Amino acid sequence: MHVDKLNYTNIHTGLTPNQIKRLELIRSSIINIQDSPEFSRIDYYPDVTLADAVYAIEELLEEATRQEPTKPILKLTISRRLSLSDILFKGTLVTFFTSGFFAIATIFSSGMNEVNARINVPGNVNWEEVAGLFEGGATASFALTLGGALGIVAANVKE
């Protein structure tokens, strides 16, 4: 929500017109810094960026000057900070689905091996070997899933 010029007229949050003007000035100053060539040369990767600060100010100004105070039905906030348990949970979900896909591929390969056993065509793929590879992948992926689940439990244990 990057807006160059914002007009605010109606105040509902208790902010004074002077405070709103100062927030607009801060927003413009941050954008000028962010867009400067000097800032782009800095090798700096903070958890909260200048763009996040501009977004927060714009949301505050939007809330402060809303024409009709309404309660949002759903408000999504994107946070760049993830806790250890969040990261483990997402990783565990990925490995869980990966093990499922490997298991399905193992079943498919075993079925194709049975088809090959009944139909003797030269140059057939050795589906038994393929099934073995997928079975190994499923086992390894399932082990990672279990490790991630144990990590989540360990990260959530309260002392």
DSSP 92-153: HHHHHHHHHHHHHHHHHHHHHHHHHHHS--TT---HHHHHHHHHHHHHHHHHHHHHHHHHHH
Enumerate residues 6+ apart whose C-beta is below 8 A from 149: 92
- Give the chain's domain count: 2
What pLDDT does 13 receive? Answer: 55
Whether residue 17 sits in one domain with residue 65: yes
Asked whether residue 7 carries a pLDDT value surpassing 70, the answer given is no
Tell me the C-alpha to C-alpha distance, in Å, between residue 55 and each of 2, 27, 31, 41, 61: 7, 9, 10, 22, 10
For the chain, the distance separating the N- and C-terminal CA atoms, rounded to the nearest angstrom, is: 41
| Mean per-residue pLDDT, 65-74 | 57
| Mean per-residue pLDDT, 29-58 | 80
What pLDDT does 66 receive? Answer: 66
Whether residue 105 sits in one domain with residue 68: no
Q: Is the model's pTM score more than 0.75?
A: no
Asked whether residue 38 carries a pLDDT value surpassing 90, the answer given is no
Whether residue 63 sits in one domain with residue 14: yes
Whether residue 59 sits in one domain with residue 125: no
Whether residue 28 sits in one domain with residue 95: no
Whether residue 28 sits in one domain with residue 60: yes
Whether residue 98 sits in one domain with residue 34: no
The answer to whether 61 and 24 are in contact (CB under 8 A) is: yes
Residue ending a domain, among 30, 47, 79, is 79
Task: Give the model confidence (pLDDT) of 142-153 as tens digits.
Answer: 999 888 888 888
Asked whether residue 130 carries a pLDDT value surpassing 50, the answer given is yes
Residue ending a domain, among 51, 79, 107, is 79
Q: Which structural domain range is residue 50 located in?
A: 1-79
According to DSSP, residue 13 is labeled: S
Residue ending a domain, among 62, 79, 96, is 79
Whether residue 128 sits in one domain with residue 56: no
What pLDDT does 9 receive? Answer: 44
